[in-house]
Amino acid sequence: MLETPLVFIVFNRPETTRRVWERIRAARPRRLFVIADGPRASRPAEAELCAAVRQIVAQTDWPCEVTREYSTPNLGAAVRVSSGLAAVFAAVEEAIILEDDCLPDPTFFPFCTELLARYRDEPKVAQIAGCSFQGENHGGRTSYYFSRYPHGWGWATWRRAWRNYDHSMRAWREERGGAWLAQAIGDPVERRSWEQSFDATLSGSVDAWDYRWVLAVWRAGGLGIAPYRNLISNIGFGADATHTRGSSPWDSLSLAPMPFPLVHPAGFARDEAADERTGRLVFRPPSWPVRVVRRFKKLFAA
């Protein structure tokens, strides 16, 4: 059985919820938190979908203490996730967190459990991620690396780190464009992209908890942990997604089981080459020729 508390965040997608739930059932967590938002009043059909999702996670067929954080009204992704995790970390010191579109490899659970214990009292480390964008030719000699990026597709953290989360984004309101961001992100193109994302989150035009979490980690000078092998496949890209509606090269990435025992890095130096690859592939907007080619491909595909 999985001894580490596990958080499952669900909403309105029975299909993806069922697939992720089967992996959770196989892991058999002793302590389970289920966080669910309510249906949007503007979408009458959503009530039935939310009810179907809650029915999927209604029963556990293994010994398990379950806490259900269900909202009747729709709070929105940012408020529902942040308020739900606040309740989780008021109750437990650490947890593994999965959303309803993040399908884990079975080795994701022991990977997180071991590293939660190893870095429990290390303030430099803010979180552990399960997803990786390094591909098969990463060249890493260890099982994981330290990164500037706190990835949110299947992750784990501690109460001590979550205390830095600030839904109001006060740090961005007061220190937008400060030297700290240039220290975190050296590439000016990528830095502008992050500035736009933080601005959109602060204004409310983007309903996101994860940008707030990135901001909290960076302002605290924290590091993320990422595996060289990909342990999470995001199966939620599509029209019914909250954020990941378009096509993406990161849709349903292949899983690569983590071998044990883990090989740990010495010290806390970031893998700058791995971060450069992630920044280039994931977080830097494509050049205008690439955007033009993609648009033509969509037109012809239609």
Tell me: pLDDT of 243 over 60: no
Query: Whole-angstrom Cα distance, residue 93 to residue 111?
Result: 18
* pLDDT tens by residue, 199-219: 999 999 999 999 999 999 999
Interior CA angle at 196 toward 190 and 197, to 5°?
90
Please give the pLDDT value at position 178.
79
Q: What are phi and psi of 171, to 5 degrees?
A: -60, -35
Is position 252 within any domain?
no
CB-count burial class (<10 Å; 0-12, 13-18, 19+) for 300 = exposed
Q: Are residues 293 and 204 in the same domain?
A: yes
Please give the pLDDT value at position 140.
74
* pLDDT tens by residue, 132-181: 999 876 667 999 999 999 999 999 999 999 999 999 999 999 988 778 89
Q: Are residues 189 and 48 in the same domain?
A: no
Is position 239 within any domain?
no
Please give the pLDDT value at position 280.
92
Q: Which structure tokens are listed for 25?
A: 């059932």
Please give the pLDDT value at position 84.
98
Q: Are residues 131 and 223 in the same domain?
A: yes
Query: Whole-angstrom Cα distance, residue 187 to residue 142?
Result: 27
Tell me: pLDDT of 49 over 90: yes
Average pLDDT for 217-238: 93
Query: Whole-angstrom Cα distance, residue 102 to residue 236?
Result: 7
Q: Are residues 140 and 267 in the same domain?
A: yes
Please give the pLDDT value at position 293.
36
Q: Are residues 125 and 268 in the same domain?
A: yes
Q: Where residue 10 sits, what CATH number does that domain have?
A: 3.40.50
Chain mean pLDDT for the chain: 90
Band of pLDDT at residue 251, cut at 50, 70 and 90: confident
Q: Are residues 196 and 298 in the same domain?
A: yes
Is position 245 within any domain?
no
Average pLDDT for 178-205: 93
Is position 64 within any domain?
yes
Q: Are residues 268 and 137 in the same domain?
A: yes
Q: How many domains does the chain have?
A: 2
Tell me: pLDDT of 294 over 50: no
Q: Are residues 93 and 167 in the same domain?
A: no
Is position 248 within any domain?
no
Please state, for a pLDDT cut of 90, what percent of the chain lies above it. 82
Structural domain harbouring 16: 1-100
Q: Are residues 33 and 6 in the same domain?
A: yes
Tell me: pLDDT of 124 over 80: yes
Q: Are residues 182 and 215 in the same domain?
A: yes
Q: Are residues 216 and 117 in the same domain?
A: yes
Q: Are 144 and 227 in contact (CB under 8 A)?
A: yes
Q: Answer whether the bond into residue 261 is a cis peptide, omega within 30°.
A: yes
Is position 211 within any domain?
yes
Is position 165 within any domain?
yes
Average pLDDT for 192-203: 96
Q: Are residues 69 and 200 in the same domain?
A: no
Interior CA angle at 40 toward 157 and 198, to 5°?
45
Q: Sheet containing 6-10: give its strands across.
A: 65-70, 31-36, 6-10, 94-99, 155-158, 125-129, 223-227, 144-147
